[in-house]
Structure 1
């Protein structure tokens, strides 16, 4: 299996970072965290969610943590006003109960032990703090990826195991809810966040897949050029292209929210 690659911030932004920003703009107000809170953004990537917190939540502070130094370089350049540190979701550089809101965008499903990661989110949350995350609905609602993987399966059935829809059963409402409840969080709620993803042309849609960042682009980069071209042509046939050449799709994320109990059970 080709590894997921996460090290080039600009390429990631073009692929899904720009869409994550739109999800974050709906996610942050939904959390209803009071102004003046201390936030930690786990798996912050290029800073999409961190930026939304700064813009919408009037925080006292925001710390973004990510294992990719390349992503953090982009985040530091794009999101002044936040602090960023290299770190893992499994061992956050944050003290016990030091955060009033602990959040994660598009990251929790990539952690090898999701239950341990959520336990770590809970550890750094103060009593009464919000612990929340969002992930793509890879199996159904993330249309830009669904069209790609459907076309790839026709051209290269051997690559089907890399499809995030099959790889990440966590990214559905019931598993997310169970994960949060198992971590001892209360008032657990899951909701969908749907955003439009509009591409001006087919090249606008396709070129981010050539950037090598993430599962689909990383897989594509391992293929010989003729196989890449065959997948490109199969994708083009599947997409709903308007008369002006534009392509309008929808991206759905699942968001989960819970509250750190005053006393751990």
Structure 2
């Protein structure tokens, strides 16, 4: 049983949104799309990637779609339109957009292959379909440390580890997903960013917000297990002399052409 919760935007922003915005910038640099295109951000969440597209790509049109009304209430991007919808059944006609992107969402879609097929369907011939996901297995250190601690104090925690639950957090399955959707010129690359926390509280407090896989799991535990997990986790953190916690995060990005 999973405990993923996606209902409230502000706690999610404190948890991982601040880091996803940095990955979005590197992702768009890699895509290198010209201005004046029609963009769709599928699984836009609180709008981190949508905002980056608005700022960097100068789109002619920008639409974000997400199933969480709570997240969309926090998504405020000038000139963008936000729509409640499912990545597996996008509420748009064929050949509607020049570029379809998805940031950090595909692992949480129950049928990623169907979502990828939908991305292709709504993209014009010759358009770009691209996405990125966290490297939960190894490269997303703030979450990797959490799940290692969870497994140490709760045997059930190992079963909920995002690194094992989500196979497309690795390059080869991500590439296979895109080629399986019929995309050509498929490329995969890693995007790394520093994730520097002011202190131990700055690292730990966002896990208490209840939004996302790890915070949702933490909220499901009784208080004594939460305390045990916290103590185990904080002992594993590399705390600098100034009290800061300096980690890194990596996402895997994929792109292809219709």
Runs of 4+ in 1 over 6 A off after TM superposition: none
Aligned-partner SS, 1:127: strand
TM-score (norm 2): 0.99
Deviation at 1:3, TM superposition (A): 2.8
Alignment of 1:116-265 (within 5 A): 116-260=114-258
Match of 1:54 in 2: 54
Question: Could you say which residue in structure 1 is the equivalent of 2:19?
Answer: 19
Alpha-carbon separation, structure 1, partners of 2:224 and 2:170: 35
1:91 to 89, 92, 98: 89
Three-state SS of the structure 2 residue aligned to 1:35 is coil
Structure 2: which 5+ residue stretches go unaligned?
Answer: none
What is the number of residues matched between the two proteins? Answer: 258
Q: Deviations over 1:235-258 (max 9, x none)?
A: 111010001110000000000000
Q: In structure 2, how many angstroms separate the alpha carbons of the residues matched to 1:109 and 1:221?
A: 21
State the shift of 1:210 in Å: 0.3
- Give the gaps of 5 or more residues in structure 1: 261-265
Deviation at 1:34, TM superposition (A): 1.3
Q: TM-score, normalised by structure 1?
A: 0.96
Q: Does the residue aligned with 1:193 lie in a helix, a strand or coil? A: strand
CA distance in 2, matches of 1:94, 1:49: 20
Structure 1 residues 85-125: Cα deviation after superposition (integer angstroms, max 9, x where no partner): 00000111211001000000011111111111100000000
Equivalent pair of 1:29/1:57 in contact (CA under 8 Å) = no
The alignment partner of 2:233 has SS state of helix
Task: State the 1:47 CA deviation.
Answer: 0.3
CA distance in 2, matches of 1:69, 1:80: 18
Cα deviations across residues 210-251 of structure 1 (Å, max 9, x unaligned)?
000111100000111111011111111101000111000000
Alignment of 1:67 onto 2:67: yes
> Could you tell me how far apart the structure 2 residues matched to 1:254 and 1:229 are?
32
Contact kept, 8 Å, 1:193 with 1:255, in 2: the verdict is yes
